[in-house]
């Protein structure tokens, strides 16, 4: 009997060792798949089908339940919400078409009250497209965020209030040490291929440029990609169909092709020949930004076109 007990203990130890070896192998495989920061922001010529807006105002990756970055946005980031949470796997995006800054405080309060969001350290605010940002409201928002880092995207829209919103954001940065600016207005200037016909919402080139700027600022202030973050290349992505409508339609997009797997390595400036994804109705790309006050909505039909202008060098926020 004593011999049998010792043998059972021996077998249990062997099983534990094998289980540990399996865990170590899985961990090594995840590490091998992880990309450097430079690889993570390599330019991709085509988006994957799931990168476009899927009809959900709240977007996150369930494989990373502990959220560390909160995005509060209007339709500009919402239109590419799948790409946002792909680039920031432990981020959660709360976006709404037509959202203005007065609606940001209820979103912040609600999101931070949820247990799964207690680890949020960074807050990215992409608002200002749909109206003025009043100083008392912005200051109350910053104070409610506590010691979290706040990243304000400087709006680049042909709207009469855009300049005043940028001045308000500059005032916040000057007063609060945890406020940082994403200079989207400077990055996107004269790059009309970053925008669809309304000169507000973003093409595939545009969202990549904006997310690169956001990630660089997040990294600069301490953010790190979570362990086990998926490869940015991965399997060859399916193409977004010529008419991008609902996610169910995109699931039937063209099959992967070998040339879609990976892209040029990162350079001091963005590659000069990205494949531009522009609106099908965007017939005169050289026109100045029109003045309009219409309420933005997620982008509709897209066509793949040849690049029209070079992408800019990014500036450090």
Extract the tokens encoding 87: 């680039």
Higher pLDDT, 13 or 90: 90
pLDDT at 317 over 70: no
Q: Is residue 180 part of a domain?
A: yes
Does 276 map to a domain? no
Mean pLDDT of 121-147: 97
Q: Predicted confidence band at 21 (pLDDT cuts at 50, 70, 90)?
A: confident
69 in Cβ contact with 229 (< 8 Å): no
Residue 135 confidence (pLDDT) above 80: yes
Percent of the chain with pLDDT over 70: 67
**Mean pLDDT score of the chain, rounded to an integer?**
74
Per-residue pLDDT, averaged over 2-26, amounts to: 75
Please report, for the domain that includes residue 138, its CATH number: 3.40.50.1110
Whether the per-residue pLDDT at 18 is higher than 60: the answer is: yes
The number of beta carbons lying within 10 Å of the beta carbon of residue 272 is 11
* Residue 129 and residue 75 in contact, taking contact as beta carbons nearer than 8 Å: yes
pLDDT (0 to 100) of residue 26: 60
In three-state secondary structure terms, 207 is helix
pLDDT (mean) for 54-78:
93
86 in a structural domain: yes
Compute the distance between CA of residue 87 and CA of residue 267 in angstroms, rounded to an integer. 19
What would the mean pLDDT of 163-192 be, rounded to a whole number? 96
pLDDT in the model for residue 200: 94
Q: Which domain holds residue 187?
A: 66-221
Whole-number pLDDT of residue 1: 67
Residue 216 lies in a domain: yes
Query: What are the pLDDT digits (tens) for 200-237?
Result: 999 999 999 999 999 999 999 999 999 888 644 332 23
The answer to whether position 268 is within a domain reads no
**Residue 307 belongs to some domain of the structure:** no
Task: Please enumerate in sequence order all residues whose Cβ is within 8 A of that of 16, keeping only pairs 6 or more positions apart, or say none.
Answer: none
- β-pair partners for 276: 305
Give the pLDDT confidence score for residue 256 in this predicted structure. 34
The answer to whether position 269 is within a domain reads: no
Backbone φ and ψ of 62, nearest 5°: -65, -15
Choose between 4 and 149: higher pLDDT. Answer: 149
pLDDT score for 204? 95
Per residue in 179-197, pLDDT (tens digit) is 999 999 999 999 999 999 9
Residue 275 has pLDDT above 60, yes or no: no
Would you say residue 252 has pLDDT above 90? no
**Number of domains the chain is built from:** 1
**Quick one: pLDDT at residue 11?**
75
Q: Is the pLDDT of residue 79 over 60?
A: yes
Rounded CA gap, 152 and 158, in Å? 18
pLDDT: is 65 or 307 the higher one? 65
**Is the confidence at residue 308, as pLDDT, over 70?**
no
In a domain, 204, yes or no: yes
311 pLDDT tier (thresholds 50, 70, 90): very low
User: Which is nearest to 274 in space by CA: 201, 217, 203, 211?
Assistant: 203
């Amino acid at each position: 009997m004593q011999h049998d007990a010792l043998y059972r203990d021996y077998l249990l130890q062997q099983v534990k060792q094998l289980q540990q070896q399996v865990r170590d192998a899985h961990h090594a495989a995840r590490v091998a798949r992880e990309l450097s920061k430079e690889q993570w922001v390599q330019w991709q010529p085509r988006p994957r089908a799931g990168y476009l807006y899927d009809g959900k105002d709240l977007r996150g990756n369930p494989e990373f339940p502990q959220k560390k970055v909160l995005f509060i946005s209007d339709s500009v980031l919402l239109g590419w919400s799948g790409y946002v949470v792909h680039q920031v796997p432990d981020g959660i995006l709360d976006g709404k078409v037509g959202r203005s800054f007065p609606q940001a405080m209820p979103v912040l309060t609600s999101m931070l009250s949820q247990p799964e969001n207690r680890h949020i350290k960074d807050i990215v605010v992409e608002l200002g497209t749909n109206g003025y940002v009043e100083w008392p409201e912005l200051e109350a928002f910053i104070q409610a965020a506590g010691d979290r880092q706040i990243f304000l995207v400087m709006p680049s829209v042909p709207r009469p209030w855009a300049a005043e919103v940028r001045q308000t954001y500059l005032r916040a940065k000057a007063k609060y040490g945890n406020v940082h600016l994403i200079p989207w207005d400077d990055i996107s200037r004269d790059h009309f291929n970053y925008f669809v016909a309304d000169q507000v919402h973003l093409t595939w080139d545009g969202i990549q440029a904006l997310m690169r700027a956001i990630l660089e600022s997040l990294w600069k202030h301490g953010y790190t990609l979570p362990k086990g973050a998926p490869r940015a290349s991965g399997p060859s992505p399916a193409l977004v169909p010529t008419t991008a409508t609902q996610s169910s339609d995109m699931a039937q997009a063209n099959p992967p092709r070998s040339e879609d797997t990976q892209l040029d390595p990162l350079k001091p400036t963005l590659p000069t020949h990205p494949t531009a994804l522009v609106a099908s109705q965007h017939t005169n790309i050289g026109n100045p930004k029109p003045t309009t006050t219409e309420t933005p909505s997620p982008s509709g039909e897209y066509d793949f076109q040849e690049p029209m202008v070079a992408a800019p060098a990014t500036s450090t926020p």
